[in-house]
Amino acid sequence: MPRRVLVIDDDLAVRKSFELALEDTDLHLETAESGLKGLALLRETPYDLVILDLKMPEINGVETLGRIRKINTGVLVYILTAFHREFLDPLKVLSKVLETEPCLIFLLFSSVLSRQTCFPVFLTT
């Protein structure tokens, strides 16, 4: 059974980039343009990985992450954002952030395929 990935990001270009990057893989990708829509999908479907933006309208990524943890405590969540500094302290409380450093997107997907233990990662520009 393919691994299920949910991308929650208000930026259409980011969502489309993930769709293109994963189209020839065994991963099943779904996207949501807001935290609220992503949470609705999470209530209906179990995911192996959630890729979450922090700076979004309606509810931000920190609030979304808190609600994700109430729905599914075991789902892997990677946080990809250019605005991590303003959200770092609340994230430390919610998700035990170990460190912040850039990562390559293929490492993210290889970790979900192998189901390695992971922690939130911030991509900086």
The tens digit of pLDDT for each residue in 75-111 reads 888 887 665 555 555 555 555 444 444 444 545 555 5
pLDDT at 42 exceeding the cut of 90: yes
Q: What integer pLDDT is reported at residue 32 of this predicted model?
A: 97
Q: What is the pLDDT of residue 89?
A: 58
Which residues does 26 contact at the CB level (< 8 Å), separation at least 6?
2, 3, 113
Q: What is the pLDDT of residues 20-35, one digit of tens each?
A: 888 888 889 999 999 9
Q: Residue 39 pLDDT > 70, yes or no?
A: yes
- For position 18, what pLDDT does the model report? 87
- What average pLDDT does the structure give for the chain? 76
Spatial contact of 68 and 26, defined as CB atoms under 8 Å apart: no
Q: Which domains does the chain have, with CATH numbers?
A: 4-114 (3.40.50.2300)
Selection from 4, 5, 25 nearest residue 15 by Cα: 5
Q: Which residue has the higher pLDDT, 97 or 71?
A: 71
